[in-house]
């Protein structure tokens, strides 16, 4: 048993994993850049108030899942800053809204389109696909209320999944949850219906029933699911404007041939949503246990943060789940590897010269491997072989004095003595030959 291991619910990504993640990152970046989303990064921790009200004080995330960040204080302090409480971000949308207002993005030409990729933290019970530190990528569009924008956002994420090669394997669960006009009626109707079966609900739902009865609809508890089976459907309770908005979103998705499932129980675990809400899941995950991503409209959130009323919509995908799903589906995540070049040097003078030589090699598309502790040609050739080097640059005492270098092709064993001044040129040619 090792003395230290990565904390529960977290994991290390080794170089071989990072290569796969970088393939996913690059594919996502290509798509979002095609649609002119600008990348944003926010701090990993924020004042807890950035999340509490926007996400909802009664949600699992705020009630149970946030990690607090504190200075390890040995001396109590009463400075104002220390009185604020900070938490690791459990999601990006609220911090992005904070940043949108803090940096005056409201005065940019609308819509403002942003994307992100980075670590998020939730104190969840770790299991397959559920981590305490996980990476999210996401998209947010500010300043457009049109249902076409909802469909546009879904189109962008659909293209991401198409690039990743899984668009045929996934489905979008979609619903509308109304807006500030119809929400009071939705809440009251659901509350009155569920109130009759209050005793059958789980403790969390009993507690939440009076505050947000919609949350009972997607509770995973079996007894709660049974109770809500015949509950009124939100879409039927929404106002004509919300119904019309939803109908138009669905018409667009039909036009685009994007498969969706109307899911009248989908309310999402964050309180800031209005109108369209959706989740992306593997089509065969009929239990809806491991969504690859989720999102929706949040037309009131900018105002909750103190800004002008600004319609907005967004989506976030779980990178860990997505990468694991791609691997489960045997989808290759290969990066084009650059040929490896091994720098072999023996003797003090050669060692000195070798670093100077490397410093002068301009970007010619190689990846250098080198060991400065291995003495002698054979040991270093063996190392080059183990590392899969395609070419070796060999400098001994003689070459160092003559300003020359031996370039050895490890595939066919051929060698060439090259003057240092010509090295870049020769390597370019040889690398081209190898990668042909």
- CA atoms within 13 Å, Cβ hemisphere of 225: 8
Report in angstroms how near the CB of residue 288 gets to ligand HAM at its nearest: 11
Among 11, 29, 53, 130, binds ligand HAM (CB under 6 A): 130
Nearer to ligand HAM, 96 or 357 (CB): 96
Among 93, 238, 263, 310, binds ligand HAM (CB under 6 A): 93
Of 40-48, 127-135, 161-169, 242-250: span binding ligand HAM (CB under 6 A): 127-135
Of 125-133, 203-211, 343-351, 354-362: span binding ligand HAM (CB under 6 A): 125-133
Question: What is the 3-state secondary structure of 55-94?
Answer: HCCCCHHHHHHCCEECCCCCCCCCCHHHHCCEEECCCCHH
Contact between 316 and ligand HAM per CB under 6 A: yes
Among 118, 232, 259, 269, binds ligand HAM (CB under 6 A): 269
Which of 315, 320, 313, 265 has the alpha carbon at shortest distance from 290? 320
78 backbone φψ class: left, alpha, beta (φ>0; ψ -120 to 50): alpha
Residues 276-295 that bind ligand HAM (CB under 6 A): 291-295
Nearer to ligand HAM, 122 or 183 (CB): 122
Report in angstroms how near the CB of residue 234 gets to ligand HAM at its nearest: 18
Report in angstroms how near the CB of residue 244 gets to ligand HAM at its nearest: 22
Contact between 152 and ligand HAM per CB under 6 A: no
Among 318, 366, 381, 405, binds ligand HAM (CB under 6 A): 318
Residue 128: strand pairing partners: none
Distance CA(55)–CA(58), nearest Å, equals 9
Among 131, 142, 246, 305, binds ligand HAM (CB under 6 A): 131
Report in angstroms how near the CB of residue 348 gets to ligand HAM at its nearest: 52
Distance CA(89)–CA(119), nearest Å, equals 8
Got the DSSP string for 12-40?
---HHHHHHHHHHHHHHHHHHHHTTPEE-
* Residues in contact with ligand HAM, shown as a per-residue x/- string from 39 to 68 under the rule CB under 6 A: ------------------------------
Among 113, 122, 208, 430, binds ligand HAM (CB under 6 A): 122
Report in angstroms how near the CB of residue 47 gets to ligand HAM at its nearest: 17
Nearer to ligand HAM, 147 or 296 (CB): 296
Distance CA(381)–CA(410), nearest Å, equals 9
Report in angstroms how near the CB of residue 232 gets to ligand HAM at its nearest: 24
Nearer to ligand HAM, 160 or 270 (CB): 270
Which of 80, 289, 260, 57 has the alpha carbon at shortest distance from 172? 260
Q: Helix (H) and strand (E) counts for the chain?
A: 17, 16
Which of 287, 307, 291 has the alpha carbon at shortest distance from 299? 307
Nearer to ligand HAM, 58 or 397 (CB): 58
How, if at all, do strands 133-142 and 86-88 pair?
unpaired
Report in angstroms how near the CB of residue 266 gets to ligand HAM at its nearest: 11
Q: Which helix (H) or strand (E) segment is 333 a member of?
A: none
Distance CA(51)–CA(48), nearest Å, equals 6
Report in angstroms how near the CB of residue 294 gets to ligand HAM at its nearest: 3
Nearer to ligand HAM, 259 or 269 (CB): 269
Residues 337-396 that bind ligand HAM (CB under 6 A): none
Burial code (b: 16+ CB inside 10 Å, e: under 16) for 287-321 equals: ebebbbbbbbbbbbbbeebebeebbbbbbbbbbbb
Contact between 140 and ligand HAM per CB under 6 A: yes
- 141 burial (CB, 10 Å; 0-12 / 13-18 / 19+) is buried
CA 276, 278, 284 angle in degrees (round to 5)? 155
Contact between 324 and ligand HAM per CB under 6 A: no
Distance CA(406)–CA(417), nearest Å, equals 5
Contact positions vs ligand HAM (CB under 6 A): 91-93, 122, 124, 129-131, 134, 136, 138, 140, 269-270, 291-296, 298, 314-318, 320-321
């Amino acid at each position: 048993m090792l003395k230290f291991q990565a904390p529960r619910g977290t994991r290390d990504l080794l170089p071989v994993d990072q290569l796969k993640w970088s393939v996913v990152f690059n594919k996502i970046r290509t798509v979002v850049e095609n649609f002119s989303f600008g990348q944003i990064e926010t701090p990993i921790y924020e004042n807890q108030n950035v999340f509490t009200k926007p996400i909802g004080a009664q949600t699992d995330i705020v009630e149970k899942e946030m990690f607090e960040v504190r200075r390890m204080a040995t001396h109590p302090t009463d400075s104002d800053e220390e009185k604020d409480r900070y938490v690791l971000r459990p999601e990006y949308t609220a911090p992005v809204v904070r940043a949108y207002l803090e940096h005056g993005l409201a005065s940019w030409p609308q819509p403002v389109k942003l994307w992100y990729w980075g670590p998020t933290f939730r104190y969840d019970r770790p299991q397959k696909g559920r981590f305490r530190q996980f990476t999210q990528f996401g998209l947010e569009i500010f300043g457009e209320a049109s249902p076409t924008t909802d469909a546009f956002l879904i189109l962008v994420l659909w293209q991401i999944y198409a690039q990743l090669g899984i668009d045929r394997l996934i489905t979008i669960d979609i619903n509308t949850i109304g807006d500030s006009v119809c929400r009071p009626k939705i809440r009251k109707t659901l509350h009155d219906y569920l109130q009759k079966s209050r005793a059958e609900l789980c403790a969390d739902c009993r507690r939440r029933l009076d505050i947000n009865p919609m949350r009972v609809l997607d509770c995973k508890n079996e007894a709660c699911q049974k109770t809500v089976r015949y509950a009124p459907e939100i879409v039927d309770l929404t106002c004509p404007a919300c119904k019309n908005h939803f109908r138009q979103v669905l018409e667009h998705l039909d036009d685009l041939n994007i498969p969706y499932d109307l899911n009248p129980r989908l309310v999402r675990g964050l309180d800031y949503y209005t109108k369209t809400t959706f989740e992306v899941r593997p089509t065969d995950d009929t239990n809806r246990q491991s969504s690859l991503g989720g999102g929706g409209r949040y037309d009131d959130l900018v105002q909750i943060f103190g800004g002008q009323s600004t319609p907005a919509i967004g989506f976030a995908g779980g990178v860990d789940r997505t990468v694991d799903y791609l691997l489960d589906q045997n989808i290759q995540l290969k990066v084009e590897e650059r040929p490896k070049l091994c720098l072999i040097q023996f003797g003090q003078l050669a060692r000195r010269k070798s670093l100077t030589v490397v410093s002068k090699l301009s970007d010619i598309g190689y990846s250098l491997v080198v060991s400065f502790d291995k003495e002698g040609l054979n040991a270093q050739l063996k190392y080059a072989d183990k590392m899969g080097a395609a070419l070796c640059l060999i400098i001994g005492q003689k070459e160092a004095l003559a300003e020359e270098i031996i370039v050895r092709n490890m595939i066919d064993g051929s060698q060439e003595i090259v003057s240092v001044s010509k090295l870049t040129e020769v390597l370019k040619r040889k690398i081209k030959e190898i990668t042909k």
